[in-house]
Amino acid sequence: MNPLRRLLPIALVLGSAGLVGSAAQAQFGSLGSVVRNLPIKTPAIPDLLSGPAPVSTNIRDAVYGDPAKDGFTPPGRPLALTGLTPSAQGGFILAPGYYSMVAQSYCLHAGTHGPGGGDAYLFAPVKGSARDAVSSILHNSVAHPEIDQHDIQLLLWAIVARAKFEDLDMRLKGVAARLLTTKQLAGLNRSALGLLTSPQLASVTGGLPGPLRTVVEAESRMRGLLTTPGSSYASIERVAVLSGIAPRGPGSIDLPATRWSLHPDGFWVRYTPNGYTNTKVEIWVPAGSKGVGKAYDPGSSVAVPVNTSRQRLAQSGRTYGK
């Protein structure tokens, strides 16, 4: 058997779907070196082993769920989270009390199902090789309310799919230039992948488990659509967001949908998505807790589903519908 065919599926299991921790990601790069040194006589397959996944946050990072708060409802009606003092990064400086907002949220896991009823979503930080770029887009978008939510989502999908930002249409390039630094854009272009032909894609995905194969194929199709003039948002969304009933993904856990997460900064947060585009965010800050005076930073936060076949959702400080 061709050694490339043996190594590619192993490495993709480790990296493409973001289901491993930092130790496995460290091995990911060394596997890439092995593959690059193989004598390959067939047409070169674009390097999928260039490093860790752009966004790797997964269920193993969602360690902040607090079963002690199951069944707990903060007293009184929630106050508007947006009424708090804004932080420098588009978040909110917390005072004692119960707060909520319906925030714009974004899909960070192409080729998976959108949120559905009954699944808990837990707090985890943004992780991955493109962590800084993802957070910058989310942070900076708060200061640019004129930028449409769809355009922000397209930029995030371009990062997840490793599309070349230099090949995006001029309008999206202009949006990217407002939300990212020149250095960040250059880094995203360096880590981008080219388009795969059908035979190349079949070679890469052969032998992969079904869920991983679906993700790799979706990312490949999205790279093509994102860099093809005239591609509609709807056509890209159909690839990124699977329709139908979501199966129970590998490694899923069963938790009540009302589970709160105890944020490491000392306050409680709960996410209730309504589709991938918006999430009800609840914050509980007890008087005297260490969360008082801390900032809730949506742009560094991911709502992670306990069903791994559903999408992890980036959060923002922008109110949905505005």
Give residue-wise pLDDT tens across range 114-151: 998 789 999 999 999 999 999 999 999 999 999 999 99
Q: Is the pLDDT at 30 greater than 80, yes or no? A: no
pTM (global) more than 0.85: no
Question: Strand pairing partners for 304?
Answer: 122
Q: What is the mean pLDDT of residues 198-224?
A: 66
Q: What is the pLDDT of residue 118?
A: 84
Pick the residue with more confidence: 21 or 274? 274
- CA proximity to 201, closest of 221, 225, 226: 221
Q: What is the pLDDT of residue 242?
A: 92
> What amino acid occupies position 15?
G
Q: What is the mean pLDDT of the chain?
A: 82
Question: Strand pairing partners for 105?
Answer: 315
Q: What is the pLDDT of residue 316?
A: 97
Give residue-wise pLDDT tens across range 168-210: 999 999 999 999 999 999 999 876 665 555 555 555 555 555 5
Q: Is the pLDDT at 25 greater than 80, yes or no? A: no
Q: What is the pLDDT of residue 20?
A: 34
Contact indicator for 113, 310 with CB cutoff of 8 Å:
yes
